[in-house]
Amino acid sequence: MTAQLKNIVEALLFSAERPLSPKEMRTIFSEAIDEENPLAAEAHRNVREAQIAAALEELKVEYDTQQRSFQLVEIAGGWRLMTRSEYAPWLKKLLDEARPHRLSQPSLETLSIIALRQPISRADIASIRGVEVDGVIKTLLERDLITIVGRSEVPGKPLLYGTTQRFLEHFGLPSLEDMPKAQELRLQAAALKTAEAKVETAAAPKENEGQATANPQQN
């Protein structure tokens, strides 16, 4: 029974062209239909995410201990089968001829800023880097590593940028939390926001204070 679940998970991973999350797999289990053998699909109808996660973990260990040519990797919010790096020379020959060039230093810097401070405008990126970023932004948009995520409310309503799923895949990151320096730089940003919020509350009209003091009396 459990072996079968593991095999289904393996089959999904084997055929998928993108990372699959346990949640997505659970939906597949709950909706799959086997016309020839209805009971087979029915048996796994109510599989829980934890069971899928356990199967993934088992598969991962299996591939590692059996020293298979591929591995199961957690990337971009899901799991994906990937070849091991020692087979790169042959796979490059097979597939890689047209793989896009590696990113330049300015592109990597700009991406780090966007990844850690998104949503962010061009002007804010430029002020951190101390140089114009128009050209770099264009390249990153074309390569689908960043995308427009909205408009800022500040005057001029500049466009705001954020990173894409493709970005996580390109760098093999499970999530944005796994960005280098994520904690340090996020914390800094959070501290800035609290400071701003404090300034705003201080400047807010006094009515709020009146309400705040009125409430305890009602209780």
Partner 1 sequence: MESDYKVKLEVFEGPLDLLLYLIKKEEVDIYDIPIERITNQYMEYLTLMQMLNLEVAGEFLVMAATLMYIKSRMLLPVDQQVADADEEDGVDPRWELIRQLVEYKKFKDAALQLGRREEEQSKVFTRQTVEIDVAANEAPLAEVSIFDLINAFNDVLKKASARDDFREIIEERFTVSDKIEEILYSLREHAEILFSELFAQAMSRTEIVVTFLALLELIRLKRLKVRQETAFGEIHVIRVAV
Is 67 an interacting residue with respect to partner 1 (CB under 8 A)?
no
Q: Near partner 1 by CB under 8 A, which window of 1-9, 58-66, 167-175, 201-209? A: 167-175
Quote the least distance from Cβ 142 to partner 1, whole Å.
9
Query: Which listed residue (17, 97, 153, 177) binds partner 1 by CB under 8 A?
Result: 17
DSSP code for 67: T
Is 181 an interacting residue with respect to partner 1 (CB under 8 A)?
yes
Query: Which listed residue (21, 139, 147, 152) binds partner 1 by CB under 8 A?
Result: 147
Torsion angle of the four alpha carbons 49, 166, 178, 138, in this order, in degrees rounded to the nearest 10: -150
Neighbours of 5 (CB within 10 A): 18
Angle in degrees, 0-180, between the axes of helices 122-129 and 134-142, rounded to the nearest 10: 120
Residue list 107-136, contact with partner 1 (CB under 8 A): 108-109, 111-113, 116, 128-132
Identify the burial level of 75 via C-beta atoms within 10 angstroms of its C-beta, where 0-12 means exposed, 13-18 middle and 19 or more buried: buried
Quote the least distance from Cβ 154 to partner 1, whole Å.
14
Is 16 an interacting residue with respect to partner 1 (CB under 8 A)?
yes
Both structure tokens of 202: 């201080």
CA separation, residue 213 to residues 130, 181, 198, 202 (Å): 47, 42, 19, 16
Give the footprint of partner 1 on this chain (CB under 8 A). Answer: 14-18, 73, 80-85, 87-88, 91, 95-96, 99, 102-106, 108-109, 111-113, 116, 128-132, 138, 141, 144, 147-148, 159, 170-173, 179-181, 184-185, 188
